[in-house]
Structure 1
Amino acid sequence: MGRRVLLSFLGLSDYEYCYYTYGGVTSSYTRFIQTAVYELFRGDEPMDVVVFATKEARDRNGQDRKKGDKLLEGIDTAFRRIAPEANVKIVEIESGQDEQSNWRLFDRIMGEIEEGDTIYFDITHSFRSIPFVALIALNYARLVKQADIGAIVYGWFEVLGRPVDVEQMPAEQRVAPIVDLTSMARLLDWTNGVDQFLRTGDASIIQTLTAKENSAVFRNPSSTQTMRNEVKELNQLTKRLDQTEKVFRTCRSLQIDEEVQKFHEQLARVRSSSVEAIKPLVPLLDVMEKKYAMFDDDPIMNSWKAVRWCLDHGLIQQALTMLEENAVTAVCRVLGFDLRDEKIRGDVHSAIEILLRDIPKEKWRVRSVELVEQIIDFLSPYKGDLKPFSMLKERRNDINHAGARPQPLKAEKFWPDAEQSFRELGVFFERMSALAKTMQVAKENA
């Protein structure tokens, strides 16, 4: 199990004493936001404390020193007074801001983060490019060291006024809030999750984040029932998103229309949310919705578009499988066959192969000669449109047999061949769709 560690920065200012508050709790009277964050966030177990400081900042604020007739407490003394159990380490950093200095700062921060740490990051006295570099380091540590962010906080001392004015205030009026910025880091997580979804179709990060949000809200006693209901709806949305993605990855082609519809319905429920924590996600929800915007109420064209979805996400094997099977499904829809009847689907496959290869009747190996003849008669006008089916079937067999065949195709050939088959078979799907609609209109008018 990793540590709980506070990362902070120390500057050159003559910090004034004040109290800090967070969550209705007030810290000890202190010059240093670091001791306040430690007190207010430490929980049941002590935290390690790492304070990054330039040599000048350490000399000025690391130890006690006099300012006129006043003795200013150094950060070492402040921790010994307020939290003597804390393990405090001051790490020297450069004051430079050039590229090389920023990389060295990055290395220093990474060097203080251990595997599995939960990090509490205080940005109060970070300056210039330091917050940017530190946030990048934190995000990187989450990936390579499995670190987690406990909180990102800022001590809002400025709310009290100018330091010269604060100096004249009585102690009881010097109360400054600690602002929790952790939700902004979560927004970055959401952005990464949606980016992963857009590039790969994988919604796992999004689902993990919503599960955490759901759990946090239900654990918080101050959460209203409305908030709980709305966050629950968000959790349900990502479950729908994950289910829809699984349908594509496992080639459940006959479920695609249903799952996409369920996703849109759940998205509409989340859009009506008024919870502040969800509002920043609205633009990301728009992006997620666009991912399925291509699908409408035409099942035949949707089955062709599903292949486009697979190709766009690098799912070559799924694209080849669905393109072949969905072409068969389109024929079944037009002819009114049971879409899930394996024997009938086998007859359609056979009819297409016989038609394209001009196989004489005496060499047919089919279950029902009469049904296959009927299907061939129907498909004959579309023989040219079905020509890509032969290469498609060969590519699907090759990839499904894992290349364990004589003269297997090179890996780099599958995507362009799948893309070509997809484009060329588009005309066939369009004609089947138009024919199905015409037949439906005729049926309704009969």
Structure 2
Amino acid sequence: MTELDLKERIAAGLAAVRDRSLTYTDAEDDILLRQHSTLMSPLVWDLAHVGNYEELWVLREAGGITPLRPEIDDIYDAFKHPRKDRPSLPILGPREAREYISGVRGRVLDVLDTIDLDAPDPLRRAGFVFGLVIQHEHQHDETMLATLQLSRQPGLVRDGELPPGRPGGPEEVFVPAGRFQMGTGTLPWAYDNERPAHWVDLPAYWIDRLPVGNAAYAAFIEAGGYDDPRWWTPEGWRWHQESGATAPLFWTRDGDTWWRVRFGRTEPVPPDEPVQHVSWYEADAYARWAGKRLPTEAEWEKACGWDPVAGRARTYPWGDADPDPGLANLGHRAARPAPLGAYPRGASAYGAEQMIGEVWEWTGSWFQPYPGFRSFPYKEYSEVFFGQEYRVLRGGSWAADPAAVRTTFRNWDYPIRRQIFSGFRCARSATPEEAGAPITPGRA
């Protein structure tokens, strides 16, 4: 790709993500200024924050431009102010926020015109800093969608057409023992926590071909899964007792029918969609009840992106081609997960399907650095979150944009979180007999 082509791609990405942000904040001022949940920021805080982040990294750090609004830096520092406290800050109002982000964007495009994308500086090289802000804004857009779902505001239920599901087929796919390369050293816009690429040796295991669906999860509820401490970790059982959760967030039961609220609309729970809005504790309890477990992060990535024939990692499960509507459910096309089995063309080399799009999938791993990790361009993106507080999620949801998903992308959150578009699939270790059997990948 030439530098001109790359700059055109960046400009298009900047325009697309800003259109999305403005769509989600096209509402009455009261809706934008209100805190709909203490778990989330007011929508207008997110809107101005993405502009402030863009000013800091593109204009000041990469462009060397004098700060436009240095007096608001503290207000929009996400690490200084927890979400619950942000309504008390002197945040910009909706009109001022829109004017601010527009002014920043105009100058950003000027920087893009003149910047050298072949520079040795890693912030500028291959347009990394622009990829940083594009992905960052898309991540905040998904957060805005989660906020709007919590607010139960109508108007964002998109009923775009999705492919039909495919009932039947193998429940699990087999991943043979062996090494694979985890992480990346080549994707130019990958975050620091995805680096460096390193070899991981795994024993043989099975992983669900598809995410766990609503019907399967309802069976767990019907079997008394929320009432039996055998399936829960001590911490999970404590959370369950304190929260009073008896089903995924936004689910209610009326007689024999489960209902859900989706952006202000009450509708029957579709049995053939991946379950979403479950915490790590709920996902872990279901897996135990099913006689399985959550996959480790390494198991998830190998099943998703490793090509055992070529001996290399793929950018996406299906290969290196960019996502399109026939491969994955991304970009808020329909405001819901697609039916199970809807994307056979998007299957991984091992036969696992719908690993990109649909729901963020909880894994059994804590968020930890890879061997040789180095923070870049700042510690607060990844390093301050490493430890045993946050569980890793993988894959991206229907609300994630293709610019912010890939087989190596790592998300993380507290195990109690349910407002995010989170689901899961299960795994299990292969028996010695299974591990030694000549099983064709993708066949159960």
Does TM, normalized by the shorter one, top 0.5?
A: no
Greater RCO between the two (CA within 8 Å, min separation 6)? 2
- Output the TM-score relative to the length of structure 2: 0.20
- Output the TM-score relative to the length of structure 1: 0.20
Larger helix percent: 1
Larger radius of gyration: 1
